[in-house]
């Protein structure tokens, strides 16, 4: 399993090749910190998640970086504040 980190002003996002991404506050964090939000790769846009629910693009690709940047611009701050619920861990926000 590979994990690729991305940073933006609103959030620090770590994408896993195993079908999810974690969102942390942009400020420093220590090992063992739980993410503020855990999302599914499909949330990052079309073509990011493969048929097996794993990452369909290379971890260091521009396509993935652009998708994470776009998602973070729209959802990053809300994810860090807890407004999106916990994500795929079963604590999703109720509609």
- Residue 92 lies inside a defined structural domain of this protein: no
Does 88 map to a domain?
Answer: no
Higher confidence at residue 63 or residue 31?
A: 63
Run of H or E including 15: strand 11-16
Kindly report the pTM of this predicted structure.
0.85
Which position has the token pair 């991305």? 6
pLDDT tens across 37-67, in order?
A: 999 999 999 999 988 889 999 999 999 999 9
Write out the residue range of the structural domain in which residue 35 sits. Answer: 3-81
- Domain count within the chain: 1
90, part of any domain:
no
pLDDT beyond 50 at 23? yes
Token digits for 11?
């959030």
The span from the first CA to the last CA of the chain, in angstroms, equals 32
């Amino acid at each position: 399993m590979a994990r690729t980190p991305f940073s933006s002003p609103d959030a620090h996002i770590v994408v896993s090749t195993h079908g999810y991404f974690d969102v942390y506050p942009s400020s420093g964090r220590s090992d063992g910190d739980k993410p503020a939000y855990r999302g599914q790769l499909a949330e990052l846009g079309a073509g990011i998640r493969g048929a097996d629910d794993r990452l369909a693009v290379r971890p260091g690709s521009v396509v993935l970086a652009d998708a994470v940047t776009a998602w973070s611009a729209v959802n990053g701050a809300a994810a860090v504040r807890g407004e999106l619920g916990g994500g795929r861990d079963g604590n999703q926000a109720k509609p």
